[in-house]
């Protein structure tokens, strides 16, 4: 039986000696960003009051997205024979015809001109990774996190090299080691503290707000949503930092900053009565993206022609400077 990501995290903490007296990562957040509320996407990754790791018994699954709703884009992991999903928010990857076919009719990507009150979009809002906890930075920094030390990574996480979990760990490491596209600064944060540092350094300010997608019915299905009147609020007009949750044995976020982006907070109403306040990121310059990226195939456009937008899942975060 595949070892669950929850069990891996618990065993890892026991092996490396995370004590009950370790300062919680949120203490660092409050010291650096005292006026910035912590979004729900990050709050759910803290340890509970009794010291137990917030996690899931579902384990690391090969399909880290939600089938058929446009969250994951599958790519092969060299040497493993396993197909592992990566996010469509990693702009170096191409999509297959099957993935494009499965996402036709979903508003995974859309054009900025369609971000208007009254617009109808079919989408699913949900998490894309198991809900594992943040490690304190001192602990995260003591663990190997690179493809060159993959054997040691698996040993520390008590994973077998031929397991599906190992294949997913491998893909996350490779994703974190990809070169950024033109105009992008990227970083994989293995702790909440390092995420805070990257966001403040990239945006040149500590007067920030961090937002994540909120849904009134967390388990609501894929459905048609309508953008409410006065439901489009611009959060950032130029530069923002987006942090995407990656599948790993503890909380890891792929963060990237770009000057050529806009971010919005959009209020939507679903056909079943679900209300969503969704984060949208729009990219003004897509000229460096893979020409076969799923956005271009779905929208039938070419790289670098028009701004491309996408919603963020509920476990991802966008940072912007307070107006």
- For the chain, the domain total comes to 1
- The answer to whether 87 and 71 have CB atoms below 8 angstroms apart is yes
Q: What count of other Cβ atoms lies within 10 Å of the Cβ of residue 54? A: 17
Task: Report pLDDT digits (tens) over 120-177.
Answer: 999 888 888 888 999 999 999 999 999 999 999 999 999 999 998 999 999 999 999 9
231 — phi, psi (to 5°)?
-100, 5
> What percent of the chain stands above pLDDT 70?
76
Q: Length of the chain in residues, anyone?
A: 323
Given this model, what pLDDT does residue 272 score?
A: 94
166 — phi, psi (to 5°)?
-65, -40
Euclidean distance between CA atoms 296 and 1, whole angstroms: 39
DSSP letter for each residue of 50-110 = TSPPP--SS---S--S-TTTT--EEEEETTTTEEEEE-TTSTT----HHHHHHHTT--SEE
Given this model, what pLDDT does residue 87 score?
A: 62
Task: Report pLDDT digits (tens) over 54-101.
Answer: 333 233 322 323 332 333 333 333 333 334 455 677 777 777 666 666
- The answer to whether 159 and 165 have CB atoms below 8 angstroms apart is yes
Q: Which domain holds residue 142?
A: 5-321
Euclidean distance between CA atoms 171 and 175, whole angstroms: 6
């Amino acid at each position: 039986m595949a070892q669950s990501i929850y069990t891996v995290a618990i065993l890892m903490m026991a092996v490396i000696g995370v004590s009950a007296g370790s300062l919680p990562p949120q203490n660092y957040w409050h010291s650096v960003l005292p006026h910035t509320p912590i979004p729900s996407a990050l709050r759910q990754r803290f340890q509970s009051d009794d010291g137990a790791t917030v996690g899931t018994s579902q384990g690391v699954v090969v399909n880290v997205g939600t089938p058929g709703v446009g969250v994951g884009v599958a790519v092969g992991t060299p040497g493993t024979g396993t197909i592992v999903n990566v996010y469509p928010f990693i702009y170096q990857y191409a999509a297959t015809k099957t993935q494009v076919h499965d996402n036709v009719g979903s508003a995974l990507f859309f054009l900025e001109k369609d971000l208007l009150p009254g617009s109808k979009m079919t989408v699913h809002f949900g998490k894309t990774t198991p809900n594992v906890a943040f490690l304190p930075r001192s602990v995260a920094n003591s663990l190997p996190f690179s493809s060159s030390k993959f054997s040691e990574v698996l040993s520390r996480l008590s994973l077998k090299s031929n397991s599906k979990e190992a294949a997913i760990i491998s893909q996350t490491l490779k994703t974190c080691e990809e070169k950024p596209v033109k105009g992008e600064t990227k970083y994989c944060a293995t702790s909440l503290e390092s995420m805070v540092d990257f966001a403040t350094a990239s945006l040149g300010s500590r007067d920030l707000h961090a937002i994540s997608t909120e849904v009134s019915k967390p388990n609501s299905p894929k459905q048609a949503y309508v953008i409410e009147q006065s439901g489009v609020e611009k959060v950032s007009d130029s530069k923002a930092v987006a942090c995407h949750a990656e599948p790993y044995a503890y909380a890891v976020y792929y963060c990237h900053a770009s000057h050529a982006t806009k971010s919005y907070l959009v209020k939507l109403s679903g056909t079943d009565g679900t209300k969503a306040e969704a984060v949208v990121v729009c990219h003004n310059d897509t000229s460096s993206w893979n020409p076969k990226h799923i956005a271009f195939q779905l929208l039938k456009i070419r790289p670098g022609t028009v701004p491309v937008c996408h919603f963020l899942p509920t476990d991802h975060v966008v940072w912007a400077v307070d107006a």
